[in-house]
Amino acid sequence: MFRNGAFSPFLPFLFFIVVLIAPLSLSAAPFALGADVSWLPQMEALGYSFYNDAGVRQDCIQILKDHGINTIRLRVWVNPSNNIYNGHCSKAETVVMAKRAAAMGFRIMIDFHYSDSWADPGQQTKPAAWSSHGISQLITDVYDHTYDVLDSLKSAGIIPEWVQVGNETNDGMLWEDGRASANMGSFASLVTSGCNAVKAVDSSIKVIVHISNGYDNALFRWIFDGLKTNSARYDVIGMSLYPASGNWSTLTGQCLTNMNDMVSRYGKQVMICEVGMAYTAAQACKDMLTDLISKTKSVSGNSGLGVFYWEPECYNWNGYNLGAWNTNGRPTIALDAFLTGTLVSHPLSGSLQTPGFLRIAADPVASALTIYYRVQSAGHVSLSIVDIQGKKTATIMRKSLQPGTYTTTWKTGGFAAGRYYCSMQSTGGRSYEAFCIK
């Protein structure tokens, strides 16, 4: 979609890691909690900085990971310009960004626009190099471009889990030849050509056809009835949903009805490929995301695959106000919706290579934290809970200890939902470990 006094992470003698306890199905891939961050390299090139909830400057992608995001979505344009807002996203840049995300443990989705810039319900412009091509040549163009980009990713060690063949193709792609309302068969042939190219690179990749307005069942039936009639090949039905703070509960309900209808009518899995809301309505956005994630997980037959926020990292950027970042460079509370457990621990600043450690394991069932810590030198040690403002809200333990490894359990009952930190103070310094109560 196109839209014209902090905690110190430094600890000389303590090494901390996170254990996230969450049940995973052995029969299906984990639910995708995603973010499209295709603008991020350009924001970074202009000097934008990103800060975690404690005000510590960090890699934006690490901040997203610490908020539960497990998948990165990247758009690809054919021959883009160098315009900071409406260009880039070339094959080479996509490979670089995909490698960066994959190295941090993210799953990958690739979104082909089949244009030199934005493709969406209002514009599906042919790339300049394809402008004179008829439908037969365009079918070949789609195959060759799709294969070329994915083969380059594969050569770099990246196999995307999902690939979109087109972006918000409400009325087809590559107008006028591929306009669905003029010739649904041509659009279906373009979809199938893209799918064939994807499968030729790796048959395990799931192919998505992506339509906006996920609440509009009539639109989806028209498009996917047409694709079915013309024997289009694809795996997943993707949706966009951009509700406002005043209508989100209605639209997410309609979206769920539509998702279940797509599963039963066409036998396809479904996914929310884009979602967003005004950053100034952060609490409403969090409530909406929590509801949408829950509804998508509830789709019949476990056929709801995931939810992706579109460009959450944007702040003070090109007039785009549907991100999930405050103007101070910190994420809004909306991102906490992706922390999908009752009690979730996650790192404040990553691992530090030092002799000891502080580790937290979250037990959502018991509403408790198990805190593991190693004392490096004999002396006074204290464990406490502080809120995001740095105010101490509970003292867990305070005593003198000899060198060794210790375990303490703390019950979270009575604490309001929100972000907190377990603080450990010892002769070696201070460490913080972040967790969230939902």
Burial class (CB in 10 A: 0-12, 13-18, 19+), 364: middle
Q: Is 84 helix (H, G, I), strand (E, B) or coil?
A: coil
What are the residues whose beta carbons fall under 8 Å from the beta carbon of 23, sequence distance 6 or more?
Answer: none
385 vs 396: CA distance, rounded Å? 7
Q: Is 202 helix (H, G, I), strand (E, B) or coil?
A: coil
Contact 422, 437 (CB under 8 A): no
The single residue listed with the structure tokens 């050569």 is 155
Q: Which one, of 240, 244, 276, 246, lies nearest residue 259 by Cα? A: 240
Q: Which residues pair with 123 in a beta bridge?
A: 120
- Amino acid letter at 164? Q
76 vs 437: CA distance, rounded Å? 37
**Whether 168 is catalytic:** yes
- Selecting among 93, 161, 176, 274, the annotated active-site residue is 274
Torsion angle of the four alpha carbons 252, 256, 261, 264, in this order, in degrees rounded to the nearest 10: 160
Strand pairing category for 404-411 and 392-401? unpaired
The encoded tokens of residue 282 equal: 């952060």
- Amino acid letter at 220? F
- Selecting among 93, 168, 313, 433, the annotated active-site residue is 168
Return the DSSP state at 209: E
Q: Which one, of 338, 395, 382, 349, lies nearest residue 17 by Cα? A: 349
Output the CA torsion sign for 193, 196, 198, 201: negative
Q: Which one, of 77, 68, 75, 60, lies nearest residue 34 by Cα? A: 68
186 vs 170: CA distance, rounded Å? 14
Q: Which one, of 44, 51, 58, lies nearest residue 96 by Cα? A: 44
H-helix or E-strand containing 137?
A: helix 135-155
| Cα→Cα distances 229→108, 225, 232, Å | 31, 6, 8
The encoded tokens of residue 186 equal: 């041509």
**Whether 176 is catalytic:** no
**Which residue numbers are catalytic?**
168, 274
